[in-house]
Structure 1
Amino acid sequence: MPRYCLFGDTVTTASRMESTGRPYRIHVNHTTVKILLSLDEGYKVEPRERTDLMGQGFEQTYWLLGKDGFTKPLPKPPELKPG
């Protein structure tokens, strides 16, 4: 039995990000993208559709695709199909 309970905007955002994610992809929000790009270390991101955060509105989200100089092979994500 849990001894604590988490709730609020952070949990809602995390839940929606998880439920709208895709296999083999890293789903990040605009705040994370700002931080990654400010580091100027070659992180690669791709915008995706805006995510509905139920009760908080829509937020632009992104896929994290990799980083310059990262040489380990990544799994190839399945092709995304509409719907």
Structure 2
Amino acid sequence: MIDTKTGLVYRKEQFGEDSSLPAEYVIRDRRYTATEITGLVTRHGFDIVDHRYVRAGRWDEPLEPTDPKAKEILVIARKR
């Protein structure tokens, strides 16, 4: 479920260990756009060197923003 006004995403996840029953949690995330993230970074004294959409753990493989595998935004910045 997505709250489009706040950018909050609610999702269910299940976790279990070998000897116990699985636990179900409702996870709340705040999703940011590339523009929001780069704006925050520059406002706090950094210059953007590069930014791109990536898959978790595969930061060297840029993806299109609409790619369903693009779960993260990598920002490389330098302190002014």
| TM-score, scaled to structure 2 | 0.32
Q: Highest Rg: 1 or 2?
A: 2
Q: TM-score, normalised by structure 1?
A: 0.32
Structure with higher strand content? 2
Identify which of structures 1 and 2 has the higher relative contact order when contacts are C-alpha pairs closer than 8 Å and 6+ apart.
1
